[in-house]
Amino acid sequence: MRILTWFQATRPKFFTIIILPIFLGTAIAWYDKKIFSIEYFILSLIAGILCAAAANVLNDYFDHLNQTDILNIDPLIPFAGGSRMIQNGVLTAHQTFQYGIILLSLAIILGIFLIVERGLPLLWIGLIGVLSIYFYSAPPLLHSVGLGEITIGLNYGILAVAGSYFVQTQDYSATAFFASLPMAGFAAAILYINQFPDFEADRAAGKRNWVVRLGKEQAKTYYNYLILGSFGFLLLGIVLQYLPIWTAISFIILPFAIKAIQVLKEHYQHKQALLPAIQNTIALHSLMGILLTVIFLFV
């Protein structure tokens, strides 16, 4: 089987959700302490990508097992419905599970090396990450008991920024924490808005995420809280003086937020029409990560 096929099975288009927080944590380490190790940065990046890849592949396996992706006959590719590798007969379910475990194992091996090199506190970050990766999709399904957004926000926001910062500095930082909060909020919002096109399949498969629990009509309002709350966290960090005033430049991406909110409000019942809202939500996470990283590198 071609290497490209295995690579595509990891859903690499979503890797920015882990890459950008790692860049941000590393940039804040430079801002705080003028510390930068290219070796540890690369290792952090590889470990993070392996974790994200493992999470995506295992999600495909377990969503096949619980029939979510089978029931999703009209998925909004590539944003919802998984990679479709199993459904299209490219990989078997067994191959997919084995692949996910291999990716996760490689991430664990690299994580152990970083723990030995940089300190025991990384163990707790890594342990939470590994357990989240597996049990996010495996029974009893964290996102089916209302913990999906918290899990995604924690792993692809707070822990990714804090972990990459610690790898560089062997320390923690309030600046890194507050800078991670908008990233966490937007990461959670990406998961949340992708539950709208998957609504019927998730409900039929018995997945009790928040959009299924609330129903689309009510759930669309809570998306606003996630998006605007992310900007609120940024503002809070500035007001409390944990973030430099220059980070306020990031508010220039507010039009993306307004557009996403408007599209979801008007088209929450129409799968294909949600595409601009999903794209803008991903753009919010990416642009916030890029802007904050640049600001911390050059202020």
Residue whose token pair is 């007001």:
239
| CA dihedral angle for residue 11, residue 13, residue 15, residue 17, rounded to 10 degrees | -120
Half-sphere exposure of 292 (CA within 13 A, CB side): 32
Burial zone of 252 (CB within 10 Å; 0-12 exposed, 13-18 middle, 19+ buried): exposed
Q: How high is the pLDDT of residue 65?
A: 86
Provide mean pLDDT across the span 139-167. Answer: 88
Percent of the chain with pLDDT over 90: 76
In 208-268, which ranges are continuous DSSP H helix?
A: 210-214, 216-239, 254-267
Are the beta carbons of 83 and 128 closer than 8 angstroms?
no
pLDDT at 80 over 70: no
Q: Which two tokens stand for residue 121?
A: 């506190």
Number of folded domains that form the chain: 1
Q: How high is the pLDDT of residue 127?
A: 94
Separate counts of helices (H) and strands (E) for the chain = 14, 0
Residue type, 80: A
Using 50, 70 and 90 to split pLDDT, how confident is the model at 299?
confident
Q: Regarding predicted confidence, which is higher, 15 or 204?
A: 15
Are the beta carbons of 13 and 278 closer than 8 angstroms?
no
Q: How high is the pLDDT of residue 83?
A: 78
Using 50, 70 and 90 to split pLDDT, how confident is the model at 139?
confident
Taking each helix axis as running N to C, give the angle between helix 160-169 and helix 174-194, from 0 to 180 degrees, rounded to the nearest 10: 150
Using 50, 70 and 90 to split pLDDT, how confident is the model at 67?
confident
Q: Nearest CA to 209 among 222, 192, 226, 225?
A: 192
CA distances from 78 to 36, 118, 158, 170, 213 (A): 35, 37, 26, 38, 24
Using 50, 70 and 90 to split pLDDT, how confident is the model at 96?
very high
Q: How high is the pLDDT of residue 84?
A: 80
pLDDT digit string (tens) for 231-290?
Answer: 999 999 999 999 999 999 999 999 999 999 999 999 999 888 999 999 999 999 999 999
Lowest pLDDT segment from 50-64, 117-131, 205-219: 205-219
In 10 A of CB 296, how many CB atoms? 25
Q: Which two tokens stand for residue 253?
A: 């991406």
Q: Regarding predicted confidence, which is higher, 63 or 74?
A: 63
- Per the structure, the complete domain to which residue 134 belongs is given by 3-298
Using 50, 70 and 90 to split pLDDT, how confident is the model at 88?
confident
Residue type, 7: F
The three-point CA angle 287-177-162 to 5° equals 90
pTM of the model: 0.94
Q: How high is the pLDDT of residue 49?
A: 97
Using 50, 70 and 90 to split pLDDT, how confident is the model at 296?
very high
Q: How high is the pLDDT of residue 205?
A: 78
In 10 A of CB 7, how many CB atoms? 11
Using 50, 70 and 90 to split pLDDT, how confident is the model at 71?
confident
Q: Which two tokens stand for residue 299?
A: 């202020």
pLDDT digit string (tens) for 13-50?
Answer: 899 999 999 999 999 999 999 999 999 999 999 999 99
d(CA 255, CA 178): 22
**Average pLDDT of the chain?**
92
* Backbone phi and psi for residue 236, each to the nearest 5 degrees, phi listed first: -60, -45
Calculate the CA 98 to chain-centre distance: 22
pLDDT at 166 over 90: yes
Provide mean pLDDT across the span 106-125. Answer: 96
DSSP 183: H
Burial zone of 78 (CB within 10 Å; 0-12 exposed, 13-18 middle, 19+ buried): middle
Q: How high is the pLDDT of residue 78?
A: 65
